[in-house]
Every structure is written in C-alpha cells, then in structure tokens.
C-alpha cells in the first residue's frame, strides 16, 4: 500500500486565520523583533519578555482557529484507506482537530496547545495557564516545582525532539509520495526531509505560493491556493 507523507508548514493554516512567519506578510517580516519572544535564552533571562509573551499568547489567533479545507482534505485521504503520515512544522494542532489520529501526526516544532515547565518538564493545557494569566498572574510559575513555564513549542535555540525527528526521517525514507504543503522548505532540519524523500525514490510534490529550494527536484510544483489545490491533489491518491 502506498505511503503518502505530507509535510505541512504555515501556509496550510493561513486560511484558518493564522498568519505565516516568513512569507511576504509573515510575522517575522512585519515585526522582526517578535522573534525574541520565541528565543529561548532571551525568554528565560528576561521576566518582562515572558510577561509580554504571556499577553501575546492570550491574543494569538492560533488557539481560536478551526481547521480549513486543506486540513480536512488530509483527513479525508487518511479515511479513504491510503496510508498517510503527517509531519508538521505547525504548532496549532489543526490536523488533529480535523480528525487525523494523533498517532499519525508528528509535530516537529511542538504544540501551542500545551505548556511545559523548563525545570521539571511537566506539561499541562495552555488554556489552564492562560486562565491564570487572566486572573492576574503575569508570569505564572509551574504549580509543581515553581519553575519557569513556556509553551510546549520548540523555541529558537532549542533542539527538535530527537525521537520525533528520527521518526519523521524514517517516514521520509520509506514513503512513495512526499507532499510538501505551505512550507518555504528553508527551516532545517524539517526542510531537508523533502530531499531525504527524493533521495530515497519518493515522488516529490510541492504545493506552495512561492518558490522553494526543492522545486527543481519536484515531480510537480503547484502554486494555486492550498484550500483549492490540495483537496483536488489528494483526491487522486484516494484508494476508494
């Protein structure tokens, strides 16, 4: 049975109201200073940065977003009987909300829907921490050990989870089809998975509004809007 690996980046979630990071109107381009809120050493060393970060978490559209046609198309492919694995650079959890089994989704950069303690590594729901902030705790400590809390996302300066990355690499090596959707394919090591898949004989398909470094290796490059083009593309891989 054909294994279809789907790498998703920020572009698949823009139709859900979540801005991308590196596109023409991306978060980092509009406000380069925003990166400091997601930089581990700065976050850990500056209480004021943490207070601002907590305020931003309460305002972010990520936790209010709903899956769109692109996310649903991925779930429909999985439900058709095709073997699907999702490798996502996104932290929004929308693939799971769209019905993809969590075991079939690898979150390379973690999740914004949970927090973790930097000391004891305890994890808990983001909603609970935001409720504490709304109640007046501007930099809530861990309830278990008093350590500094952060979102359960991979910040700049942190390494990806080695187990998750190893699983993603294994999928890239084993798949027959590798579809990169809404990713600039510039952030390593996630971006290199497209090359790994192509090196191991997979058909590489790139769905992205702008050129990527792997377009020349792709069997097909699609520039049309993801919400329309991805459902049409994935239907061609349905097994029933």
Q: Among all residues, which ones are annotated catalytic? A: 109
**Structure token digits, residue 151:** 């979102």
Could you tell me which residues come within 8 angstroms of residue 135 by beta carbon, excluding any fewer than 6 positions away? Answer: none
Residue 194: HSE in the Cβ half-sphere, 13 Å Cα cutoff? 30
Burial 156-180 (b: 16+ CB within 10 A, else e): eeeebbeebbeebbebbeebbbbbb
Query: What one-character-per-residue DSSP string does 131-184 give?
Result: HHHHTT-SSPBPTTT-PBEEEEE--BT-PPPHHHHHHHHHHHHH-SEEEEES--
- Candidates 131, 129, 63; CA nearest to 97 is 63
DSSP label at residue 87: E
Measured in whole angstroms, the distance separating CA 175 from the mean position of its chain's CA atoms is 20
Strand partners, 121: none
């Amino acid at each position: 049975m054909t294994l279809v690996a789907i790498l998703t980046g920020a572009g698949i979630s823009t139709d859900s109201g979540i801005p991308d990071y590196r596109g023409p109107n991306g978060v980092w381009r509009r406000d380069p200073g925003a990166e400091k809120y997601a930089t581990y050493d700065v976050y850990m060393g500056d209480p004021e940065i943490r207070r601002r970060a907590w305020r931003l978490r309460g305002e972010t559209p990520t936790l209010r977003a709903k899956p769109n046609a692109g996310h649903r198309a991925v779930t429909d492919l999985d439900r058709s009987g095709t073997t699907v694995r999702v490798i996502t650079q996104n932290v929004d959890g929308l693939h799971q909300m769209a019905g993809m089994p969590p075991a079939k989704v690898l979150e390379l950069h973690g999740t914004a829907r949970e927090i973790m303690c930097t000391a004891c590594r305890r994890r808990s729901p983001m909603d609970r921490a935001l409720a504490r902030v709304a109640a007046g705790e501007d930099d809530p400590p861990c309830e278990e050990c008093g350590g500094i809390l952060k979102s359960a996302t991979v910040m700049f300066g942190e390494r990806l989870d080695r187990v998750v990355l190893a699983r993603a690499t294994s999928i890239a090596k084993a798949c027959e089809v590798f579809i990169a959707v809404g990713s600039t394919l510039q952030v390593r090591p996630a971006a290199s998975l497209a090359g790994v898949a192509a090196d191991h004989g997979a058909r590489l398909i790139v769905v992205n509004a702008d050129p990527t470094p792997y377009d020349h290796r792709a069997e097909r490059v699609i520039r049309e809007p993801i919400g329309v083009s991805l459902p049409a593309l994935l239907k061609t891989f349905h097994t029933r």
